[in-house]
Structure 1
Amino acid sequence: MKKTKVAVIKTSPERVLDDYIRLAKLAGMKEAMDGSATTILKDNISWHLPMPGANSTPWQLEGAVLALKEEGFGEIVAVENKTVVTRPKYGEKQNKYDIIYEKYGITILYNFEPENMSWVEYTPKSKLRILPKIYPEGLRLPDYFFGKNIVQLPTMKCHIYTTTTGAMKNAFGGLLNVKRHYTHSWIHETLVDLLKIQKEIHSGLFAFMDGTTAGNGPGPRTVIPVKTDYILASEDQVAIDAVAA
């Protein structure tokens, strides 16, 4: 088996974008994904207001874009989701993502807009632990995600249901519909199931985690910001979450 690698850098505002490019090289991003496939950027809007530690940071997003371009990846597309408590299009502007998308010509798609993608029934190849019980009528996934790389962009923070949250939990918003909060009673089993599904449908997985300001306390929204200045990256979502914890 290939040895898991998690890259960690102590960064500063003056060099954070360069550090994200270096982080990608240290973590082996180029080898982790298919360079000929479209790459989805999956940001993390825990709250549509710009609360430090709660959401993907603009420098995390821009650093990921620069790292992908540096390594020769082609089409980059952002996909956003909504929840029962967030407004993604408002959050996109409040957190300054729209400026970066415009700067680099990145298309923004929404998994809840029928004109952007459809939700299709999917039968997993792996045996799942809990999702078939939560969705007895059948598991549906956004068709756009199939055959594409995905880069998760979580922050390093606590979560009232999962204790800590990161790359594994970030798949939650993209792959499950707006009723996904019903899975919180079995959240750990759900995250295992989602990781199995990601490995089946994506051409490559990678994660950049921003911990420049970490979120302590009752996350993911009402966090207590803590300055830590760490950024992390890995193709292994379990390992990066473990290191962050």
Structure 2
Amino acid sequence: QDKCDLPVVHLDTPPNLWVDYKPKADMLVLDSIFPEGIQIPQTFEGKNIIHLPTMKTHVFTTMTGAMKNAFGGLLHRKRHWTHSVIHETLVDLLAIQQEIHPGIFAVMDGTFAGDGPGPRAMRWHVKDTLVSSSDQVAIDAVSAYMMGFDPMSIEFIRLAHERGLGCADIKALNIVGEDIEKVNWHFSRAENTFASKGQKLIYWGPLKFLENALLRSPIVGWAFLASNLYHNGYWLNTYGKRRIKSALKTDWGKLFQSY
């Protein structure tokens, strides 16, 4: 930021405002989740955007990349309400992005790539890879393919492709650089943490009837506390610190420490 003289914008801090926005595209889920109206950061409208996601797996969406990178910026405080319909949400967010941003570009960082129960309990792998595109569907499809997944088997990628928001057909893409036909990192799509198992029981399992009471009510703080205790209390101290220590011994880790 200092080197490039970039401003820091905190979306929840005045004078930055969240404003009502009515999408032109038909929404899959966001209009029903937010019946009072969809809000977006006013500062986003009319500006180009560059996403800088990382290549990693995710317990809810198999992998996460450029499309999910909008999740933290375009959704306000109730974004956790969308977890049970996360795939449809990401498609809606991409449709909104294409309406409000004149240009969208993504550079995905696969210098380290994350495998396993991401995004918070992954195993890192040095892959020395960068992927870039102005097509957010294509970049996620290519990244998923490199991880060893069929892009069309990942719901948010398939839905976005079918709705014409981008191209997920690997054979139809003009890919410059590495021949990804020969790439398969054999990443895992079936792993969970204790925390994500509990979340899935609430979002898609036998505890679904408790979702509103547990996660959409004033007592929702228990979920944030439980996640913090598990990930930052238990997991970080039993697994995470060892992985961080070994990552810092790599060339990328040494570069990070030199900043």
Query: When the two structures are superposed, what TM-score results if normalisation uses the length of structure 2?
Result: 0.55
Compute the displacement of 1:105 (Å): 1.0
Compute the displacement of 1:122 (Å): 0.5
SS of 1:109's equivalent in the other structure is coil
| 1:193 equivalent in alignment to 2:92 | yes
Compute the displacement of 1:222 (Å): 1.4
> 1:207 is matched by which residue type in structure 2?
A
Tell which deviates more after alignment, 231-240 or 172-181: 172-181
* Structure 1 residue aligned with 2:112: 213
Q: Indicate the structure with greater strand content.
A: 1
* Structure 1 residue aligned with 2:43: 144
Aligned ranges for residues 33-182 of structure 1 at < 5 Å? 101-115=1-15, 117-182=16-81
Compute the displacement of 1:113 (Å): 1.2
Compute the displacement of 1:155 (Å): 0.2
Structure 1 segments, 4+ long, off by >3 Å, are none
Compute the displacement of 1:178 (Å): 2.3
* Structure 2 residue aligned with 1:82: none
* Structure 2 residue aligned with 1:202: 101
CA distance in 1, matches of 2:3, 2:120: 28
Larger relative CO (CA 8 A, sep 6+): 1 or 2? 1
- 1:114-164 C-alpha deviation (Å, 9 max, x unpaired): 22x101001111110000111011101100000000000000001111110
CA distance in 2, matches of 1:110, 1:158: 27
2:82 alignment partner, one of 178, 183, 197: 183
Query: When the two structures are superposed, what TM-score results if normalisation uses the length of structure 1?
Result: 0.58
Compute the displacement of 1:180 (Å): 0.6
Aligned length: 144
* Structure 2 residue aligned with 1:226: 125
Compute the displacement of 1:182 (Å): 1.2
* Structure 1 residue aligned with 2:140: 241
> 2:3 is matched by which residue type in structure 1?
K
> 1:174 is matched by which residue type in structure 2?
G
> 1:112 is matched by which residue type in structure 2?
D
Backbone CA RMSD of aligned residues: 0.7
Compute the displacement of 1:110 (Å): 1.1
- Once the two structures are aligned, what percentage of the paired residues are identical? 58
Compute the displacement of 1:232 (Å): 0.4
Compute the displacement of 1:112 (Å): 1.6
> 1:111 is matched by which residue type in structure 2?
L
Q: Which ranges of structure 1 fall in alignment gaps of 5 or more residues?
A: 1-100
SS of 1:144's equivalent in the other structure is helix
SS of 2:2's equivalent in the other structure is helix
